[in-house]
Structure 1
């Protein structure tokens, strides 16, 4: 059902806002309106023109919101390509670090705590690698992606990681590490995360201390860590990374029915792999979807170890994907190429005469940028001509029909 999520919000957002006045985060309002108006010509557009027959095609600006299913998917693909281009030529492992249900409420109350998930999971992995050899202090590469939703749209903060099966040492250039002790990782993850939450929460500290002790008693093997997803090739990496990069909480394809009052969507249950259909009141559906919109400028993707930006290992290893291939993919990632690859249709072929349309103008706030720049250039050139004429007059000594001295 193409465009159904946008239609759900177009139909119901204003009423939802009135019912929940004062309860909606400012960034949610901003992102929803961006998504609703995505592609509207009122927000500006690019104009293409056929030089053969004069036909004009206008393409509205996109909202570039992570909440928009169209723009979010595009952004997810771009991030996926960027991350795969960073991977070194080593086997990688896909890991998932989870938290108990009792802790979820703390991340809902204070969304800044979400940054602890990638930080603490990376710390657990890196400390285990370094303990392999204290002298070598092996450093792996880690890319982490924060997720706040489960397949059923419930609030379920966890973190997905792509981790190298090996690390760079202080003396040894690289050491492969096939076996990772998940029992040790679980216990480290549990301790590091609980300590960090305790240090960062601003209220209900006694309540959290009691919960912390209960979790240690009940979960003696630590918090659950999954790590069986082995990544050997660039193609596998792209699939894994693309699946778990920051994206909208639900894809259009999962919505099976919307009748104005109810929304029916499908998801695959983790426990048994069975497909489940769930029907929700439209306002309940909206509430479940918008709670996963992150705060403005909050980074859902983090890099650690040899994949950190300011690392001395940055250009030390061969990449999983050739840099020329990665650069070519970046250049090909444009609006026209994506439509050709997705639908097999060139959007810039004139529908009237079949000729190739060319870029003609950009309109922003109902103003032509071509006309704006033309006037700007004309004014600048006019000033330059006046300056040149004045300089010429000074050199010739002829200003205002009289001789003026060159030096006073």
Structure 2
């Protein structure tokens, strides 16, 4: 993909003196400064040389911030993660289930994000596991990969969980049991919504004393959205979904269309009206404030694996399960390109010099200039 014309980092850089005003805590501030400095001299860098004897080209690169909220640092991580998940796919239908929190909980998400988002993961797995264990619906132990997103297209707070659920599970005899209608149907969405609301509110009651007397009663008046899409058409579609959602951040650089007049203009999709595209313009201050809403608490895990897709089962029974259900023939992927020489497209880059904020040593600067 071609590099973006405008970047989130440019907005942060031109507002670097006032970033404190838009952050709720020091962790958010540290994150914004890391994104601002990404791939600039402020983080130091390295010089690589192509190992192709017919090329030997030198390449100077500034270090990335490696922050999971950075628009420029997700591509390579995403590809590595997807390739690891491809090896774990089962030859069964997969469902896409979405659990969404009502907007009445947004204020609580701002003050207690770790608690609320943690309960969202916990409750979603309780629902999937509970319905799967019920013989009326499946009667088997399921699996789930859950990915937390906290944003809407306009960068407003919209916490929801994207879940990938295999269409079946392992029964008490250790054998695979497929979901109903040969894997074409998972669970009744209306029933899931009601149980989701009841369990989440019950768990929240144990943790937080509400400010108003009718806070929890008001939550029961809302319709809690659980959405279950039709099963994926095949393993390749599951992988495509993983690529779109796993390492996604609040806004990509490619969505930004203009940075004039101390404002950010970016594209927006309205999913309520068939994905209709429009343009939204926000002042820098409001853009940064909204962006900071989606910086997760330190060390909070936003991609989690459960049941037969958890790390334990991958180590103990995944290979056996894949053998029983049959092998998946996925197309062979080319090697990752992040270390391929951009000049000759054949050799691999090898780091030969590391340098700090002061820049590369003088001798190497001369070598780079000669090469140009």
Residue 236 (structure 1) shift: 0.3
**Which string of whole-angstrom CA distances, capped at 9 and with x for unpartnered residues, describes residues 101-127 of structure 1?**
112221221011211112111111110
Aligned to 1:264: 265
Aligned to 2:296: 294
Aligned to 2:106: 104
Higher helix share: 1
- Aligned CA-pair RMSD: 3.1
Please give the alpha-carbon distance, in whole angstroms, between the structure 2 residues aligned to 1:46 and 1:229.
49
2:145 match: secondary structure: strand
Q: Which of 333, 336, 358 is 1:333 aligned to? A: 336
Aligned to 1:190: 197
Residue 59 (structure 1) shift: 2.3
Please give the alpha-carbon distance, in whole angstroms, between the structure 1 residues aligned to 2:216 and 2:281.
36
1:116 match: secondary structure: helix
Please give the alpha-carbon distance, in whole angstroms, between the structure 1 residues aligned to 2:57 and 2:82.
37
Aligned to 1:115: 118
Aligned to 2:26: 26
Aligned to 2:130: 127
Q: Which of 189, 205, 214 is 2:210 aligned to? A: 205
**Does residue 1:249 correspond to 2:214, yes or no?**
no
Please give the alpha-carbon distance, in whole angstroms, between the structure 2 residues aligned to 1:10 and 1:308.
40
Please give the alpha-carbon distance, in whole angstroms, between the structure 2 residues aligned to 1:160 and 1:210.
30
Aligned to 2:319: 315
**Which string of whole-angstrom CA distances, capped at 9 and with x for unpartnered residues, describes residues 262-294 of structure 1?**
111111112212222111101111111122011
Please give the alpha-carbon distance, in whole angstroms, between the structure 1 residues aligned to 2:44 and 2:328.
36
Residue 12 (structure 1) shift: 1.4
Q: TM-score, normalised by structure 1?
A: 0.75
**Which string of whole-angstrom CA distances, capped at 9 and with x for unpartnered residues, describes residues 352-390 of structure 1?**
xxx95863613144799xxxxxxxxxxxxxxxxxxxxxx
Unpaired stretches in structure 1, ≥5 consecutive residues: 338-345, 369-408
Shift in CA distance, 275/86, structure 1 to aligned 2, threshold 3 Å: same
Please list, as runs of the form range in 1=range in 2, the aligned pairs for 1:8-407 lying within 5 A after superposition: 8-17=11-20, 19-20=21-22, 23-41=23-41, 43-48=44-49, 56-113=58-115, 114-132=117-135, 137-171=139-173, 173-178=175-180, 179=185, 180-201=187-208, 204-205=209-210, 207=212, 210-216=214-220, 218-219=221-222, 223-273=224-274, 274-311=276-313, 313-318=317-322, 332-337=335-340, 346-349=341-344, 359=350, 361-365=352-356
**Relative contact order, CA 8 A, sep 6+: which one is greater?**
2
Q: TM-score, normalised by structure 2?
A: 0.82
Question: Is the Cα–Cα contact under 8 Å of residues 339 and 349 in structure 2 kept in the other structure?
Answer: no
Please give the alpha-carbon distance, in whole angstroms, between the structure 2 residues aligned to 1:285 and 1:262.
8
Give the count of matched residue pairs.
345
